[in-house]
Structure 1
Amino acid sequence: MTAAPEPWRFDAIGTRWEIVTERRLPPAVRDEVMSRIDEFDRTWSRFRPDSAVSALARTAGAIPAPADAVPMLDALEALSNATAGAVNPLIGASLDALGYDAGYTLHDQGPLPAPSGWQQVLTWGERRLALAVPATIDVGALGKGRLVDLVLDMLMRTETGDLTVDAGGDLAVRGRPQRIGLEHPFDPRRAIGVWEVTDAALCASAVNRRAWPSAAGTTLHHVLDARTGQPVRTIAATWAVAPDAMTADAVATALFFDGGPRLAHEWGVDWVRMTTDGRVEWSPGCRADVFVRKDRGARTAPASRPNSLEQ
């Protein structure tokens, strides 16, 4: 029996990728994958001065709509509505102000709320993407999941067999089921549970990733409430499973805010999240195996509400 090829690992869009296939990917397919990732990055990365969103941030105006504009911005609008504005695609300047900028300076200049009423500033459609005034678009709430889906779709057109595309913990699985550990946000050596994923995507977000000290000595991180420009302080980590990675990524972001569980229910997405005080919540019917300390029982909530326990 022919041994499976080694996983293909590489760095792109600021994270580590791992693509696992049953059959070796031809060089031409790998080149196509890298080209698609670079195209996405050249359009949507606020860290690249030559990207489309960086150009719009400098001058405003309109450009031909990128292929991903409508699905991503439609989903971001749904996230914004569900979270009462806590999610906002014009949050780029807020992240810059806290030091998570193109130079990764980590120089905290204080919180900067994102523009309210952003739908009047940013408009999109099949033909054009436009900003009425200069502003920084950031699609980090779901963009990595979208790119995982694009790469997965490309690879599924080849004879790969079982397939896993993992971009820094946002992953999609086709074929053989995969058991995925849910990393503890306060101790990466531990897991709070395991989730078996079959022909679906699992995306995660946590406050321990992309964290840095503030000028006042507190810890800052990349998950901000757009209404205040401040990092979220109540939720430590989220996980979501959906048929596609963009949806799972979007829900993993929404779960940091009130309204996230309701949106997940409306979209039919299962989820787990951990609060900063150590409690773990999960959606009704969630199939994740969440580890429970034997000296602490679970507190059962009504079926219409999340279940929870202490971790």
Structure 2
Amino acid sequence: MPQPDWSEFRFDGIGTRWEISTPRPLSAGVRARLLAVVEAYDGEWSRFRPDSTVSVMGRKPGRHEFPAEAAALGGLYRSLYRLSAGAMTPLIGGSLAQLGYDADYSLRPAGPPRAAPRWEDVLDWDGTVLTNHVPVVLDIGAAGKGQLVDLLAAELRSHGHGSFLIDASGDLLYAGPDVITVALEHPYDPTKAIGTVPVSGGALCASASNRRVWGDGLHHVLDGTTGRPVTTAVATWTMAADTMLADALATALFFVPGAALERTFDFSWLTVFSDGSAAFSAGFEGTLFT
């Protein structure tokens, strides 16, 4: 981890805990700017806030102009939707709500699993403009938290902070002179690690089916073509230059083999499966414990 004398700024945002570490303390003005970036992002993309643009899309059809980050987010989702044959989709929100992971956090299924609507049938995503032809429940959580990490990093750099560690509850972006060592959480016991990985710069993201779990076999990683939780992979880790890409690919590994994703994206990866086996890329420099 970073130097022990680095200053830390902790806060809650988009439903998760954040820690930003820097060699010198962040000024009150910079802290306020960071919180404003988080609030603005949440106000556009949250499906849990009734005042968000995404919530408006869930109530009625319409044409919606989003901020600049929407173009990159949509392009990445479009690629992964195609590569996963529709299994990974930003239209998974309704399927999550159906199983109880709804805006009220009821955690009570409203009925059997329901597949997400086909993107091409209900949504046009053209750069920063999203047009929904019917009410749709977007959920961009598979890449959104990572994108917000990148937006906060850009804010830090704009104020002269070139070294930092942003930790968004396990999704990390590090910029600094040293190598840090990060533990890989055991998918069945968060108090233990299955290995470690050195990070010299860039993003390290993880996804696991033991996070956001409710009910018997219910978790947040759903196959958009069926609406059912994935049962093959149980945990993934990815390393990439930016956090949005690493975050999205950590989820994509539940649906698409890492070797296939490597043909399109520049990243390294590790996948742990429910039978206890693991697969990883040649570029993943982590060490797994025996």
Go from structure 1 to structure 2 and tell me whether the alpha carbon gap of 1:11 and 1:65 turns closer, same or farther (over 3 Å shift): closer
- Tell me, yes or no, if the aligned pair for 2:87 and 2:223 is still in contact at 8 Å: yes
Distance 1:23 1:264 in 2: 37
After TM superposition, give the deviation of residue 145 of structure 1 in Å: 0.4
> Which of 175, 187, 190 is equivalent to 2:189?
187
- Tell me, yes or no, if the aligned pair for 1:181 and 1:191 is still in contact at 8 Å: yes
Partner letter of residue 184 of structure 1? H
Larger deviation: 67-76 or 42-51? 67-76
> Which of 231, 255, 260 is equivalent to 1:257?
255
After the TM superposition, which residues 94-105 of structure 1 pair with which residues of structure 2 at under 5 Å, given as runs?
Answer: 94-105=95-106
Go from structure 1 to structure 2 and tell me whether the alpha carbon gap of 1:133 and 1:281 turns closer, same or farther (over 3 Å shift): same
> Which of 221, 230, 247 is equivalent to 2:228?
230
- Tell me, yes or no, if the aligned pair for 1:4 and 1:21 is still in contact at 8 Å: no
Distance 2:25 2:32 in 1: 14
After TM superposition, give the deviation of residue 161 of structure 1 in Å: 5.0
2:134 corresponding residue in structure 1: 133
- Tell me, yes or no, if the aligned pair for 1:145 and 1:245 is still in contact at 8 Å: yes
- Tell me, yes or no, if the aligned pair for 2:195 and 2:288 is still in contact at 8 Å: yes
Unmatched 5+ stretches in structure 2: none
Distance 1:84 1:161 in 2: 39
**1:178-214 Cα shifts (integer Å, max 9, x gaps):** 211110010111111111112210010001110011x
Partner letter of residue 93 of structure 1? G
Distance 1:60 1:178 in 2: 47
1:16 corresponding residue in structure 2: 17
Distance 2:128 2:210 in 1: 38
1:306 corresponding residue in structure 2: none
- Tell me, yes or no, if the aligned pair for 2:258 and 2:281 is still in contact at 8 Å: no
Structure 2 residue 213 is matched with structure 1 residue 211 = yes
Q: TM-score, normalised by structure 1?
A: 0.88
- Tell me, yes or no, if the aligned pair for 1:203 and 1:249 is still in contact at 8 Å: yes
> Which of 239, 244, 247 is equivalent to 1:246?
244
Larger deviation: 134-143 or 58-67? 58-67
SS in 2 for 1:286: coil
Structure 2 residue 65 is matched with structure 1 residue 71 = no
- Tell me, yes or no, if the aligned pair for 1:251 and 1:264 is still in contact at 8 Å: no
Larger deviation: 119-128 or 146-155? 119-128
Structure 2 residue 247 is matched with structure 1 residue 270 = no
- Tell me, yes or no, if the aligned pair for 1:97 and 1:112 is still in contact at 8 Å: yes
Instruction: Report the RMSD for the aligned CA atoms in angstroms.
Output: 1.6
Distance 2:184 2:263 in 1: 21
After the TM superposition, which residues 1-311 of structure 1 pair with which residues of structure 2 at under 5 Å, given as runs?
Answer: 4-109=5-110, 110-116=112-118, 118-126=119-127, 128-175=129-176, 176-213=178-215, 218-291=216-289, 293=290
Q: TM-score, normalised by structure 2?
A: 0.95
SS in 2 for 1:104: coil
SS in 1 for 2:167: strand
Q: What is the percentage of aligned positions where both structures have the same residue?
A: 46
Go from structure 1 to structure 2 and tell me whether the alpha carbon gap of 1:61 and 1:259 turns closer, same or farther (over 3 Å shift): farther
- Tell me, yes or no, if the aligned pair for 2:258 and 2:269 is still in contact at 8 Å: no
After TM superposition, give the deviation of residue 260 of structure 1 in Å: 4.4
After TM superposition, give the deviation of residue 5 of structure 1 in Å: 4.7
Distance 2:258 2:141 in 1: 16
SS in 2 for 1:180: strand
- Tell me, yes or no, if the aligned pair for 1:24 and 1:160 is still in contact at 8 Å: no
SS in 2 for 1:189: strand
**1:132-188 Cα shifts (integer Å, max 9, x gaps):** 111111101111000000001111222335310010111100013221111001011
Q: How many residues align?
A: 286
Distance 2:10 2:193 in 1: 23
After TM superposition, give the deviation of residue 121 of structure 1 in Å: 1.8
Distance 1:88 1:126 in 2: 17
